Amino acid sequence: MRWSDNPNDACIFWLNGMSGTGKSTIARTVAYVWDKEQRLGTSFFFSRGQGDLALAKRFFTTIAYQLARSQPGLADGIRKAICDEPKILEQRLRDQWEKLILHPLSQPKCQRQSLMLVIDALDECDGEQDTKLILQLLSEAKGLSSVRLQVFITSRPETHICHGFDKLPEAAHRAFVLHGIDATIVSHDIRAFLRHEFHTIRDEEGIQGGWPDEQSLGCLVRKADGLFIYAATICRFIGDKDNDPKERLNLVLEDSTEDGSPTAELDLMYNKILEHAIIRPWSEEWLRIVGSIVILFDSLTDSALAKLLGTKQFKVTKTLKSLSSVLEIQGFRIRLLHPSFRDFLLDNRRCSESQFCISEDKAHEDLAVSSLKLM
pLDDT in tens, the chain (375 residues): 689 888 889 999 999 998 888 999 999 999 999 999 999 999 999 988 777 888 999 999 999 999 999 888 899 999 999 999 999 988 999 999 999 999 999 886 666 678 999 999 999 998 999 999 999 999 999 888 888 899 999 999 999 999 999 999 998 999 999 878 899 999 999 999 999 999 999 999 999 888 999 999 999 999 998 999 999 999 999 999 888 999 999 999 987 776 767 788 899 999 999 988 887 777 888 888 999 998 887 788 889 999 999 999 999 988 888 898 998 877 678 888 888 999 999 998 888 788 889 999 988 898 888 888 887
**pLDDT score, position 111:** 64
| Residue type at position 203 | D
Q: Which pTM value belongs to this model? A: 0.78
Cα separation of 282 and 371, whole Å? Answer: 21
| Residue type at position 97 | W
Cα separation of 322 and 161, whole Å? Answer: 36
**pLDDT score, position 179:** 79
| CA 164 to the chain's CA centroid | 20
Using DSSP's 3-state secondary structure scheme, residue 336 falls into strand
| CA 64 to the chain's CA centroid | 22
Residue spans of alpha helices (H) in the chain? 2-5, 23-36, 59-70, 72-84, 93-96, 103-105, 128-139, 159-166, 183-205, 214-224, 228-238, 245-254, 264-277, 283-295, 302-309, 313-322, 339-346, 360-374
List, in order of start, the domains of the chain with CATH numbers: 2-180 (3.40.50), 183-254 (no CATH), 277-374 (1.10.10)
- Max distance between CA atoms of the chain, in angstroms, equals 67
For β-strands 333-336 and 327-330, DSSP reports them as antiparallel
**pLDDT score, position 285:** 86
